[in-house]
Structures are given as structure tokens and as C-alpha cells.
A = this chain, B = another copy of it.
């Protein structure tokens, strides 16, 4: 498969500003729902139906806003697993008009596997580790997103 399409939605009225443009925080809400969907793909049920009591917490997040997105636009999120260790997952979500390649916004994120009974960080369950390896393998030929490793700064400073 190319990138993994994790979430599809229409831009909702309460997500746009008075100009009818998607507000910065709601790009991240769409990516957040994509992370929830990724957990399902990984066999991590978001309400602990898999019995591990594990969930993914966002440790750190970077967003590049490339294009405005308007009310009612049909959009989708594609997710690229960049890497992982025993407890952390490094992902890149990109937002697109449904079916289009152009990237409207990109978000690099570091997610932590957390045992909610602590809450404390925890090693991924075996079935999740297997699924991670499977997806990384299917994505091994995907081009590395150009928005990874960004540092914010004024031009020329």
C-alpha cells in the first residue's frame, strides 16, 4: 500500500473561523482522530477492549500549515510510520483533499505507549509490535516526508 489512509471527514462548521477557514487547532483535531484510528489499526482499542489498558499519548507534535481548508471540504489523513522503539512511535500525518496528492498540512508526531493504570509509559504489547513491523514493511518504499525534523525560526535569523 502507499500511505495508510487513517481518517476521512468533512470540515465541520464549528471547526472554521469567521472567514470560513479551518482553524489551526482543528487541523490537529483531524490528525488526532487519525491517531485514534491508527490505534485501531494497531489493535489498540481506544477503550481498552483489547485488555492491555494501553493507549498512545502525544509527547510532541509539529504542524506545517501549507494551504487553507474551507468549510465542508472533504479531506483525508494519510499516515506514514517513520519509526518506533519499544515504547515510542514516530509518525507523520498528512492532510489531503479526498483522493488528491497535494499536502494541505503535515504533522510530525512522537507518540508514547502508556499503561493507563499508572498512567506510566509501557512497552508495546506483542500483537501491536507485530502490526507495527507489518506496516513499516509495507511503507518501506514511501518517500520520506520533507516536513520531518523541522525547526521553527524567522528567515535569515
Structural contact, B18 and A29, CB atoms closer than 8 A = no
Point out residues on A near B: beta carbons under 8 Å. 18-19, 23-26, 28-29, 31-32, 46-47, 55, 57-65, 68, 83-85, 88, 90, 108-110, 116, 119, 148-155, 157
Structural contact, B83 and A157, CB atoms closer than 8 A = yes
Structural contact, B154 and A149, CB atoms closer than 8 A = no
Q: Can you report 5 residue pairs joining A to B where beta carbons are below 8 Å apart?
A: A25-B28, A25-B32, A60-B64, A68-B119, A150-B151
Number of copies: 2
Q: Complex: how many Å from CA A122 to CA B109?
A: 31
Structural contact, B32 and A83, CB atoms closer than 8 A = no
Chain B residue numbers with a CB within 8 Å of A28 are: 24-25, 28
One of B26, B60, B65, B116 near A63 (C-beta < 8 A)? B60
Structural contact, B29 and A152, CB atoms closer than 8 A = no
Closest approach, in angstroms, between the C-beta of A140 and any C-beta of chain B?
Answer: 16
Structural contact, A90 and B32, CB atoms closer than 8 A = no
Q: Complex: how many Å from CA A55 to CA B32?
A: 26
Chain B residue numbers with a CB within 8 Å of A148 are: 152
